[in-house]
Structure 1
Amino acid sequence: MNFNREGFTSFNFVGKARYFFIFSIAITILGILTLALLGLNYGVDFKSGSSVDIVVSKDLESKKADIEKFLTDSGLGKPGLTIGSDRITLRFDEVLSDGNEQKLKEGFMANFDQEASMEVNTVDVEIARELQFNALKAVLIASIGIVIYVSIRFEWRFAVAAIVALLHDAFIVISLFSILRLEVNLPFIVAILTIVGYSINDTIVIFDRIRENMRFTKVKTAADLAKVVNDSVGQTLSRSINTVLTVVVAAACLYFLGSESIKLFALAILFGLISGAYSSIFIASPLWLLLKKGQKPKQAAKVSTTS
């Protein structure tokens, strides 16, 4: 991939588009199968149960087996257990009764840390269903708003290509969380909406350059249209990569240095940023070209008449 003084690249994005389309379709099919067979690993936010966050005054990572034994012996079952250097998180599939909450608090402080502080958050079935519905509604409203915005600013073909790339990115992240059995909670939805924003931003930058180059190019053949797309992607490539790398560094710092509660959010952002850069460059623009080719003969006739 070579750059000249004008910022163009010799890589044929349009010519290789079919391979990227095939790759994305394969990933999508794999994601559909995984979701159908395994579903998502919902956290307490999206299913009934109790979440217990314990702030500890000492590192108890080496005591994981002892904590699990304490929970079992106390009749509290085997909840999801995450241990950090200063925080322990428990995820119960069932709502803890007041008696079990008291038993957990007193037993933990007596056996592991007298200075520990505990916060219990409970979600019942109705609230969990409402949260799921509101999360889906938020993504849908964001998608509709983007379609309207892009259609007004550009044209409907840009809007279709942008929304396909956007849904592609969101679905890739959802599929990866399903495959890796990572917990889906409210911060995950925030991450999806953040990814949608970054994805559409990268795509709009490329689309804006395509529109600008179209003003100064006489498009008479499909090759001319393909050259406009290749040149536009090449001119914005360094900007897209640099933007993504900047945010990737920040998200990576959150993942490796942040608390346990923010790790999954940061991981979703990392997945989405990589997918967003890929779709903006290799999916959205070639897809717009496919849609635009149907208009080419009309454009060519118009150019011939005016010249």
Structure 2
Amino acid sequence: MKARFDIVKRKWWFFGLSLAITVAGLVIFALFGFNLGTDFKAGSRVQLQLNEPVNVGKVRSMLNDIGLSVGEGSITVAGTRGDIAVIRFPTTLSQAQIAKIGAEEKKDFPKSTGDTVDTVDPIVARQTSQKAVWAVLLASLFIVVYMAIRFEYRFAVSGIIALLHDAFIVMAVFAILRLEVDLTFVAAILTIVGYSINDTIVIFDRIRENMNVAKPRSRGELERLVDKSLWQTMSRSINTVVTVLIAAVMLYFFGGQSIHNFTFALIVGLVSGAYSSIFIASPIWVTWRSRKLPKSKPAESVE
């Protein structure tokens, strides 16, 4: 694929776009925090299989009748036919309260086939949160070690910055849209990390191969070499992400409500991962690496 513009020379535009999205997410997070699921905070999640279109007002009225009230947005509709009501309580329900819900459900919704209750206490929620953070950090650490051994430390640091960029972008989108963060979200982040670093390594490999053929002696030569490498791998990067995106989008629309947030995180992360591999990781590396080289006059785009 021929170069249509100089990617490296426009790096600050790409850095600025990523920074703007991340800062917006951090502001939302600082003001409102994440919309945490029951995996990460104490509480109970009750799923009612009503076998009829869910009327949120009627479900709320049922809960009020037995002395249980929930806030706005705590009742959501699930299922391919919209016949499942999912209720989230900020506190742990007792067995007596669960029994009341079951009895009232049978009375108000005769077609109902029962409920499923998931409860998480504060200790388990805290341990789950800690393990999720450690999973992401350890995965990132091993990736840094691998890349430092295979390439050099500058490639490793640039790659990990791109990975953190992808994680922050997904978290920012979830914070802005107030989507629920649960264990499937963590699984999506780890999947995105693996995909993104694979694409980044392919590009870094091409840069290293081109440097072995013609070692750059100035900043301009290095920038043109990186641009050339990026455009040589552009078709592969685009074709790969489009192929995976097709599968992720199909899962989003036809995979069911239970994996809805997981697939949405994948879609955002796949796009962000392709973007960071091309427009973030390599420009960071060339900015860092070129400090040791003398300046040169601007040159035309690489063909």
**Structure 2 residue 66 is matched with structure 1 residue 74:** yes
Alignment of structure 1 residues 19-30 onto 2, 5 Å: 19-30=13-24
1:239 lines up with 2:232 in the alignment: no
Matches within 5 A, 1:165-184: 165-184=162-181
Q: What is the percentage of aligned positions where both structures have the same residue?
A: 48
- 2:262 maps to 265
- Listed as ranges, the matches of 1:132-211 within 5 Å are 132-211=129-208
Q: Which protein, 1 or 2, shows the higher relative CO under an 8 Å CA cutoff with sep ≥ 6? A: 2
* Counterpart secondary structure, 2:104: helix
Decide which moves more: 230-239 or 26-35: 26-35
Q: Residue 116 of structure 1 aligns with which residue?
A: 113
1:113 & 1:228 partners in 2: Cα distance?
70
- The equivalent of 2:297 in structure 1 is none
Residue type matched to 2:58 in 1?
D
Quote the RMSD (CA, aligned, Å). Answer: 1.4
Per-residue deviation, 1:213: 1.0
AA at the equivalent of 2:67: G
The 3-state SS of whatever aligns with 2:91 is coil
Matching of residue 64 in structure 1 with residue 62 in structure 2: no
Structure 1 counterpart of 2:104, from 104, 107, 123:
107
**SS of 1:60 mapped into structure 2:** coil
Paired residue secondary structure (2:87): strand
Structure 2 length-normalised TM: 0.91
Give the letter for the 1:183 counterpart: E
SS in 1 for 2:48: strand
Q: Work out whether 1:95 is the aligned partner of 2:92.
A: yes
Q: Which runs of 4+ in 1 moved over 4 A?
A: none
The answer to whether the 8 A contact 2:188-2:266 is kept is yes
TM superposition score normalised by structure 1: 0.90
Please state if 1:284 is matched with 2:278.
no
What is the SS of the residue equivalent to 2:4? coil
1:49 aligns with one of 30, 43, 46: 43
Cα distance per residue 1:50-88 (max 9 Å; x no partner): 1122334x2323x22211211122212126112132433
Return closer, same or farther for 1:236/1:122 CA change in 2, 3 Å cut-off.
Answer: same
Aligned to 2:5: 11
Deviation (angstroms), 1:261: 1.2
Counterpart code for 1:251: A
Question: Which residue matches 2:250?
Answer: 253
- Using a 3 Å threshold, how does the CA distance of structure 1 residues 115 and 109 change in structure 2: closer, same or farther? same
Q: Distance in 2 between matches of 1:256 and 1:196?
A: 23
AA aligned to 1:51 is R
Q: CA deviation at 1:16?
A: 0.8
The alpha carbon displacement at 1:115 in A equals 4.5
What letter matches 1:247 in structure 2?
V
The code of the aligned residue for 1:67 comes to: V
Moved more, 8-17 or 270-279: 8-17
| Partner in structure 1 of residue 219 of structure 2 | 222
Q: What letter matches 1:91 in structure 2?
A: R
Give the secondary-structure state (helix, strand or coil) at the position aligned to 2:292. helix
Q: Which runs of 5+ in 2 are unaligned?
A: 295-303
Q: In the comparison of the two structures, how many residue pairs are matched?
A: 289
User: Counterparts of 2:70 and 2:92 in 1: how far apart (Å)?
Assistant: 13
Deviates more, 1:114-123 or 1:145-154: 114-123
Q: Structure 1 residues 182, 117: closer, same or farther in 2, change over 3 A?
A: same
Letter of the 2:230 partner, please give it.
V
The Cα shift of 1:253 comes to 1.4
SS of the residue corresponding to residue 44 of structure 2 reads strand
Alpha-carbon separation, structure 1, partners of 2:283 and 2:110: 59
Matched residue, 1:129: 126
| Structure 1, unaligned runs of 5 or more | 1-6, 298-307
